[in-house]
Structure 1
Amino acid sequence: MGESYGAYKLGLDESVIRHITSANIACGWHAGDPEVMDKTVKLAVDNSVGIGAHPGYPDLLGFGRRNMDCTPEEIRRYIIYQIGALSAFCAIHGARLQHVKPHGALYLAAVENEPIARAVAQAIISVDPNLIYVALAGAKGEMVRRIGKAVGLKVVYEAFPDRAYTPEGTLVSRRKPGAVIKDPKEVARRALLMAAEGVVVAVDGTRIPLEAQTICVHGDTPSAVELVRSIRETFKSEGIVLKPMGLISE
């Protein structure tokens, strides 16, 4: 959320916020700006939604979805900077930052690159050891979750019902057809499978086991409001309780 910037409007935050329990808020580098961050934090507070920092690469033109040749030490400082910015807006609204989830290419780089994964985890815990680290669920995310836990962070496992998965358990590149799933019923069905059975079906039909504790839907998808509404209604009908990830037990 909070991915508008200057004169550019992106997402339907005011509508989406009513159907979610936690929000990943852009911190001004891949998207967002001080005014948008301020308004989005207030929106989350007013709707009792858990607030998370969503730090990314310094890549406004590419929306943080392009790889950048940054050292682990640079990445560590980038994340500290962005967490600090959003934390300040939380403070003026009487809120506490709940979690951190890297954005886009940075998130995927941490999954594949151990020094980057270590830099991300060290950045988070150096700012606040009580912050939750949101990391990829499934075998593909094992390394990044292990590193997060090793430095002393609480790690929450995340899955993506609106994204196609490869047989290896990672996300299909957005440059490929079908990478983003936009049908509300299909996304809700996938979310239920993740939550109730701990499974995601890859593009080739492979059933991949994963332990999902939080479900992410991308706010820049045009049908985002319908997606989160459909998921919430489906979970309610199945007796699945939704709550901010800060209330998830270890």
Structure 2
Amino acid sequence: MPVVLVALAGCEEFDSGTGSAGRVGAPKSTTATREATPEPSVETPSASSTPSPSADPLTSTGTVTEVVDGDTIKVDGQSVRLIGMDSPEAGQCGYDEATAAMADIVTGRVVTLIAVAGRDDVDQYGRLLRFVEVDGTDVGLREIELGLAVARYDGRDGYGTHPRQDAYIAADAAAADVTCAAPEPTAPAEPAPLVGPAADATCDPSYPTVCIPPAPPDLDCGDITFRRFTVLPPDPHHFDGNHDGVGCESD
């Protein structure tokens, strides 16, 4: 039988592998799609995903439970000494006024306590050393402005400069000092009772403890209980009527 050769009008690219239908030489489609590898996405962080700044370790808050005096309070039971100022002590002029002013400002209030880096955290009595603020008001500065405290315990006296020193010193210089009335003079004490004979008493030399104290000019023997005592001149009461040196010899 004769062999018939068929000319192919065109050529297709064939895959030498096995096609999807299981036949060899299945055409590879030039339009076939492959599963694309997705591009890596870049997320833009939202504002809510940004970490909040950590709380300032030098700052805390609490409720004032007691006012000790013009520069010391208790916050949640812990004693707190205000930094950079000093108020009068008990018994000193201005103590009552400073304590009352502090009570008016902070009693029962929530306050902010601010430590100062590089300075002591507590004093020798175990009190926290802090600036104290209530609703943004610097309580120590307010006491100084009222003339109820002075700027102290700072760089001028060996305690180290603090951040509010200049403001405290300026307020101290501008404030009027509290004045206190002088105490009322006390009446002199009653003189102690006379012990022993007075300088002008008439005494019996034989019995030095038996003396006649000074008396009004009209004193006579009827006014005293002594009898037959020695009378020394000048005998202003005339006890020795017969001038024999013995006074009030008879009734």
TM range (shorter): under 0.3
Q: Specify which structure has the higher proportion of strand.
A: 2
Larger radius of gyration: 2
> What is the TM-score of this pair, normalised by structure 1?
0.21
> What is the TM-score of this pair, normalised by structure 2?
0.21
